[in-house]
Structure formats: C-alpha cells, structure tokens
Structure 1
C-alpha cells in the first residue's frame, strides 16, 4: 500500500450519518479528489478544522481500487478573517463553488491551486472591500484564460456573450466606458490601473456578473455570485 501525501484545500464538505464526512479536496499534487472520513465528528484525536473549509491542510491517504482512503491530516494554515467577515466569507465560498464546478477529478492544476491560495491569503489580509470584489473579477478573468475561452475586445461597448466579442453591435449587455476599461485591465492583470479609475462596487459587480454569464454559456456552468450577495 503506497501512501500519498499532498497539501490541499477542502472545496466541499457533506456531513452524513452521525459522524461521517465526505470531502472534495483540491490538492496541489493530485487535483480534485473525493475522500470519505468515517467517524470524524466523534473522534477526539483529529483536528476537525483540518477537514473543514477555508484552511490548507496536509493530507496523507492511499488509493484502493478507485477510491481514496484517508490515513491522516493536519491543518497547516487557516484564514481567520475569512471566517468572521460575511462578505469575505461569501466571496470565498463562491470561489470554492466555481472551482468545484470547473475542476475535473484527478487532473493536476498547480497554477490554479496557487491562484486559489494567493486569493485566500489576499482576502484574509485586505481591508478595502472594493479590492475583495476586484479579486473575484480577477479570479474569473484568469479562469477564462486558463480554460481557453478568451473573448475579443474591439471598438464598442456591447458584450456579445454568444459570439465571444465586445463590439459596437447593440445587445442587452451594454457596458459603460469605465467598465470596458476595467475588463481590459483585468485581463492584462493591471489591478492598480483599475483602482486608479476609482470604480464603484456596482461597476465591479456588473463585470463579475457578465464574466460569470460568459463562463456559464461557454462551459455549461450554473455559477451565479448574486446567490451569495
């Protein structure tokens, strides 16, 4: 029996029966995997937070047939601010929901794993709400590039989601000039340039909504940040 060891983040948990918990992990070395822990909530030997959301843990497990069996785990890093501030908590949970929708089991995504860690660390320390929402927009922009569904940005202020282009052909997804500039800066990873525009949170939320609608259409997802806010 070969023991496997990796850092990982719980992206979904489901408690069942009296003491068991099913976990979906996003791990550094093995990607998305599912593990069931029997008797977890009755055990006094295991640190429950290590198998909870919003923490980085080291997991040791082995594979039997097609199933992963947990041997042990240890909490390495937790994000206290994310657990205590409602808007940060909602943004964090929404990011986890997005990842659970996109990730394919047993597919290693080290770049995306690093992005998740850096995002949580930023959210945990940041004290400007506008930047929390910009972080979510930035996360979505990088996901769009990672998934290979980037759209073209031409002259005009209309976002044609179906045809993957912003142009001057009228449709219901009209942007302001500021919102279009913000989208360009998001994909160029120039967050400070967005801050210099002094955008409103409503501007950022509209961009988040449009990017999620775009991902829903092209990746057949059902993500919707409005469910959290």
Structure 2
C-alpha cells in the first residue's frame, strides 16, 4: 500500500483543485465539480449499474479475450517463422493507422447495433499491443541460453516452453496493462458512435440533455474499471513472476 501513497496524494490534490475551479466557474454543464459528479452518479445508479455497466463490461471482456487469443497466436507465429513475420508485421501496424472513430460507424453498418460491432472495435484497439509485446518477449531470449539448452539435448519445443515462454511473461503482463484501459476506451467509443446501451451510449445521451455531471458519471466509472483491472493484473504479475522480483 505504501508504494501507492504518492499516487493517492496526487489524486486527492487533483480532485481538490478540480473542485475549487469548478465552484469558481459555477457552470456545471461545462465543468461539473467532482462532488456533483458523485451526486449525479448516485442519482443515476439504477440505469448506470444495472443496464449500462454490464453491457460495457461484456463488450470489454469479449474484445479483450479475443484480442488475447488472436494476438498471442500471431506473436507465436511471427516468432517461429521469419517469412510469416515479414508478411504479417506490416499488416498489424497498418491496422493502427486508421482511427477507430472512422471505423466504428462502418462496423455498425455491417453488424447493426449488435454487440459484435462494438467487440470488433475493441479488438482493433487492443490486439496490437498484445501482439507486439508478446512477440518482442519471445524474441528477448539470449542466443547463448538457447545454445546452452541445445547442448543439453533440448528440442525446439523444450526451448520454446522452458525458455521463450517464461521470458515472454513480463511482456505479456505489460501488454495486458496497456490493453485493459484500451479495451474500456474502445468499448466506450463504439457505444458512443452507435449503440442502444452501454456507458458510452449513456454519456452521449446525457450530453444531448446538457447534463454535464451526467456526462462525466459514466467516464468516472470507466476510469475506475480500468484502474481496478490494472491493479488486479499487477497483483497477478507479482504472484506469477516472483523470479523477476528476486533478481
């Protein structure tokens, strides 16, 4: 807990300054204060937490799981075969050159307001860091270590499982920490551009009503979701990769 003390102090200071500025401006539809946002969140708790939050979480979960499977698979393929790497790597980079705000409406045209238009947008935002980080992790092993294992009679399968996979684990968790907030953002953006439920959709609806605190309420929830998920991943990383902490 001590290592988060500085972050807590900075966070409290930020919200206190925000509260003071918002009260000075006194224009809640432009910049609502944190206290008004919390009050509005409580007032809107029923639709937020029973309808829109589950919808966003489901999109986030599906998009992240598919990205993990797809991204890890591509990373392994590229690490095993140089020709595949040369063919796939540029395509993976190209997918990140088109803004998701331009693609999300197209996905709505293809899939309508179903969950898959939003899941696809989430996948496009998250699979890139997973693919690249895991690929770099698999390539991070030293050639000397591979040659040593070969002299002990290790096969390519042994080298991959006993050397490359453990070396890639820290990179995998780093990719997760990047992808989780991106998955939440991707879900929210896709809901904003075309959906019938979700926190992004709810925020857009509040904006049309000039309800500043109502617009910020889903954003606060999205931020908390991302922070909680990254915190859980950090705990899992410390539990599963004890050897890195001992080095």
The answer to whether the superposition gives a TM-score over 0.5 is no
Question: Larger relative CO (CA 8 A, sep 6+): 1 or 2?
Answer: 2
Q: Given the two structures, how large is their TM-score scaled by the length of structure 1? A: 0.25
* Larger relative strand fraction: 1
* Larger relative helix fraction: 2
Q: Given the two structures, how large is their TM-score scaled by the length of structure 2? A: 0.24
**Which has more radius of gyration?**
2
